[in-house]
Structure 1
């Protein structure tokens, strides 16, 4: 945690209210996101109990599994979930716009620009907390390899046709959520914690109700008191006033309400199956219907407060202006969505259980590059974030006190003006250290020459501008700071460089899974069913 973040948390404790950690919105928020509030049972890892899902704030769709141990009921839940999620995804798959993409020419080996279709927008899934993202990833893994009756008529427990397709999409959303700065799948607690510093730990910030209590507490109630009530406050029946942000349930709810309700449902279903005549069957069916309604009401009582809290958090985030680089990161999300849409349409197999060495290395390099890009862009978009980088010695700002024109050595001398800057910051600069500033959205490079004076105690430093001044002998207008201008330079690069090109999977050494044999040409089959796959 940075020093400025620590100070913000201390100020939140003192004032009783969360403090802003950003002045702009650093994540894209769709005008019509799909909110997904899952609920799981405690007895079986990842077993769905129910969910609220939808794009309309006042009209969520309630999905319930009355008996989570019943495989047919679980598949019915997943099929209903697919009926909601897949049409939402398909609505973004058809509208495209022309775009250019760099590809390698197979004949010349050179990079060329080709025109392709790019989806004009992309779907966005929002879950309450990080645990919700983990559950989405688990659902994707457990669904994408399921066999349908059409694919394999002899498969036991065939899945509904749309379930494997939903699994592929959820896997893609889960993988994309691991890329820093991506907004296809967001955990609301993480987005809120990025923009506000509460007076509690990062782990406690994963409770959506407690985090909102710090950010927007009731009038006259300190955030700490409101958060404590959200975490442990219970009604006269011993149930939490603010259910956790899912997907896990409270033990008191499981033991006192849910377990007895499921037992009544099981008894009613057994009695209906044993009914001997039509009149008795009608009575037993009425009992079963009442038991189903009871379970549905219980699930809704645990998910609806979280659903309302998610939309309340979205309202708080939408009040912030969007950062300048957010649209660029969303464009990369659109490319990712378009690429997966094309793979599905082309009939490619589901994502493999394990990545090969080259794919894994590429993913790791991409995440590292995007993390550095995100940190740089957030600082450039947000003065409050830049203040933290300045406090850490990774950037500095000041007023230009003098500009002296100078030229580089060579047959065609290029302008290399010397800029004197007065600053109170103390950046970690060494001789000829490169520094950067944003000039028209592009990074301009300068070089640290030294301090005026012996120790730089007067705060005057000299920088040499190196590029972005045009091709003429005289710098272009506006490309060199003028006396009196206030400028900000960073020690970190604004654009991240790509790494070394990795070999094709077919050319990897045997130590990394290659060269492939005949077996590698066979598409990977479905995973064997394991405890992790069983919902």
Structure 2
């Protein structure tokens, strides 16, 4: 946790209200997201009890499994959920726009640009909290390999045709949610926690009602009091007034309301199955319908407060202006959505249960690269985030007090102007360390030359007492070596100045200009290219599908037995 985040939490405790942790919204929100509030059965992993789902905040669709242990009822729930999610996804699959993508020419081996289709927008899925993402991943894993009657007429429990496709999309969204900065599948508590700091722990922030109570407490009430009321207040029946639905249920709800209702439903179904004539069957069918309706009412009562809280949280997020780089990250999400759409259309098999070595390594490298890119972009978009990097010595800002034109040595000298920046930050700079600033959306590099102390400021070891200037790129390796107060940082600009002998207009900071340089790179470089899966060495599992790729252990001999 950064110092800025710690200070924000302390201020939230003192003021009784959540403090801003960002000045802009760092995640893209579509105009029409699909909100999913799932509910699971306690004690049985992956057994859905119900869900509220839809794109209209005033008209959600309620899906219920009256007996979660019944395989047929669970399959019907999944099919009904697929009938809601897949048409929503399909509305984004056909609207495309032309785009360019770099590919390797198979004949020449060179990278060339080809024109392809890119979906103009992508469907966005919102769940209340982080466990909701895990539930989506579990649903995808349990449904994408389901066999349909068309695929296997002899399968004992055939799935409806759309369920395996539904599982493939859920798996893709769950995998994409692991990529830092992705917005295809968002847990609202994580997004809110990124933009506001509360006076409670990060675990308590996963309760959406308590989190919103800190961000927007009722009038005349402090955040801590409102959060406590949101998480613990119960009605006359002993039930939570604002259930978490996260997606686990409250034990009091399970024991006092849900279990008796399911038991009545089971008895009604057993009586209906034992009916001997039509009249008796009609009467008992009414009992089954009434028992099922009671379970539906219970699920609706539990999920509706969370449904309303999700839309309230989205309203708060939409009140923040979107960060400049959020659209670029959303474009990468659109590429991801388009690629999976093309794989599904091409009839490729579903995602494997376990990735091969090359795929797993590529995924890990991508996530590490995107994490570094996200941290850099958030700092560039948000002065509050950049302040945390400045306090950590990873960036510095100040006023340009002098610009001296200089040139490199060689047959064709290039401009290498020296820029002196006055700053009160303490960056961790060493000899010839590179720093970067954003110039027209692209990073411009500079080299650290040395420090100069202002009149009356402390001097570092090895500084010249006559003029207070530290040796260029010499003994002083950190501004921490200097006493308090402003310092002068001398930098040498090395690129983004054009190809002429004189720098292009605007490419060199001018005297009096306020600039901000970072010690971290703005764009992350890709790692070494990994071999194709078919060329994976045997030490990493061998080519997929070859049983002899991994050598077998030596056979046991009599000498091996004591």
TM-score (ref. length: structure 1) = 0.96
Q: Is 2:202 aligned against 1:174?
A: no
CA shift for structure 1 position 515: 3.7
CA distance in structure 2 between the partners assigned to 1:21 and 1:221 by the alignment = 21
| Count of residue correspondences | 521
CA distance in structure 1 between the partners assigned to 2:291 and 2:544 by the alignment = 56
CA distance in structure 2 between the partners assigned to 1:45 and 1:448 by the alignment = 56
Q: Which residue in 2 is equivalent to 1:327?
A: 327
CA shift for structure 1 position 519: 5.4
CA distance in structure 2 between the partners assigned to 1:240 and 1:473 by the alignment = 73
CA shift for structure 1 position 212: 0.2
What secondary structure is seen at the aligned counterpart in 1 of 2:351? Answer: coil
CA distance in structure 2 between the partners assigned to 1:282 and 1:271 by the alignment = 11
Q: Which residue in 2 is equivalent to 1:394?
A: 394
Q: How does 1:448-487 map to 2 (within 5 A)?
A: 448-453=448-453, 454-455=459-460, 456-457=482-483, 458-487=486-515
CA shift for structure 1 position 517: 5.5
Q: Which residue in 1 is equivalent to 2:556?
A: none
What secondary structure is seen at the aligned counterpart in 2 of 1:397? Answer: strand
Q: Is 2:28 aligned against 1:28?
A: yes
Q: Which residue in 2 is equivalent to 1:67?
A: 67
Q: Which residue in 2 is equivalent to 1:505?
A: 533
Q: Is 2:435 aligned against 1:407?
A: no
Q: How does 1:261-300 map to 2 (within 5 A)?
A: 261-300=261-300
- Going from structure 1 to structure 2, the CA distance change for 1:245 and 1:382 (only over 3 Å counts) comes to farther
Q: How does 1:177-196 map to 2 (within 5 A)?
A: 177-196=177-196
Q: How does 1:134-173 map to 2 (within 5 A)?
A: 134-173=134-173
What secondary structure is seen at the aligned counterpart in 1 of 2:167? Answer: helix
Q: Is 2:98 aligned against 1:98?
A: yes
Q: Indicate the RMSD between aligned Cα atoms, in angstroms.
A: 1.1
Would the aligned equivalents of 2:128 and 2:310 in 1 still touch at CA under 8 Å?
A: yes
Would the aligned equivalents of 2:39 and 2:245 in 1 still touch at CA under 8 Å?
A: no
CA distance in structure 2 between the partners assigned to 1:266 and 1:242 by the alignment = 28
CA shift for structure 1 position 276: 1.4
Q: Which residue in 2 is equivalent to 1:384?
A: 384
What secondary structure is seen at the aligned counterpart in 1 of 2:97? Answer: strand
CA shift for structure 1 position 516: 4.6
Q: Deviations over 1:136-174 (max 9, x none)?
A: 000000000000111001111111111000000000000
2:542 alignment partner, one of 499, 506, 514: 514
CA shift for structure 1 position 52: 0.2
Q: How does 1:341-352 map to 2 (within 5 A)?
A: 341-352=341-352
What secondary structure is seen at the aligned counterpart in 1 of 2:28? Answer: coil
Would the aligned equivalents of 2:356 and 2:544 in 1 still touch at CA under 8 Å?
A: no
What secondary structure is seen at the aligned counterpart in 2 of 1:334? Answer: helix
Would the aligned equivalents of 2:49 and 2:65 in 1 still touch at CA under 8 Å?
A: yes
What secondary structure is seen at the aligned counterpart in 2 of 1:235? Answer: coil
Larger radius of gyration: 2
Q: Which residue in 2 is equivalent to 1:87?
A: 87
Q: Which residue in 1 is equivalent to 2:521?
A: 493
- Going from structure 1 to structure 2, the CA distance change for 1:484 and 1:234 (only over 3 Å counts) comes to same
User: 1 or 2 for the larger relative contact order (CA 8 Å, sep ≥6)?
Assistant: 1
What secondary structure is seen at the aligned counterpart in 2 of 1:494? Answer: coil
Would the aligned equivalents of 2:435 and 2:519 in 1 still touch at CA under 8 Å?
A: yes
CA distance in structure 2 between the partners assigned to 1:356 and 1:282 by the alignment = 56
- Going from structure 1 to structure 2, the CA distance change for 1:518 and 1:420 (only over 3 Å counts) comes to closer
Q: Deviations over 1:232-290 (max 9, x none)?
A: 11111100111014210000000000000000000001111111122211211111111
Would the aligned equivalents of 2:66 and 2:295 in 1 still touch at CA under 8 Å?
A: yes
What secondary structure is seen at the aligned counterpart in 1 of 2:180? Answer: coil
CA distance in structure 2 between the partners assigned to 1:43 and 1:335 by the alignment = 39
- Structure 1 regions of 5+ residues with no counterpart? 522-535
Q: Which residue in 2 is equivalent to 1:532?
A: none
TM-score (ref. length: structure 2) = 0.92
Q: Which residue in 1 is equivalent to 2:231?
A: 231
Q: Deviations over 1:283-306 (max 9, x none)?
A: 111111110110000000000000
Would the aligned equivalents of 2:498 and 2:504 in 1 still touch at CA under 8 Å?
A: yes
What secondary structure is seen at the aligned counterpart in 2 of 1:476? Answer: coil
Q: Which residue in 1 is equivalent to 2:421?
A: 421
Q: Is 2:343 aligned against 1:315?
A: no
CA shift for structure 1 position 469: 0.7
What secondary structure is seen at the aligned counterpart in 1 of 2:502? Answer: coil
CA distance in structure 2 between the partners assigned to 1:370 and 1:30 by the alignment = 21
Runs of 4+ deviating beyond 2 Å: 453-458, 515-521
Q: Deviations over 1:68-118 (max 9, x none)?
A: 000000000000000000000000000110000000111111111000000
CA distance in structure 1 between the partners assigned to 2:387 and 2:87 by the alignment = 44
- Going from structure 1 to structure 2, the CA distance change for 1:261 and 1:517 (only over 3 Å counts) comes to closer
CA distance in structure 2 between the partners assigned to 1:436 and 1:340 by the alignment = 36
CA distance in structure 1 between the partners assigned to 2:276 and 2:534 by the alignment = 65
- Going from structure 1 to structure 2, the CA distance change for 1:273 and 1:326 (only over 3 Å counts) comes to same
Q: Deviations over 1:420-467 (max 9, x none)?
A: 111000011111110000000000001110001442544111011111
What secondary structure is seen at the aligned counterpart in 2 of 1:464? Answer: strand
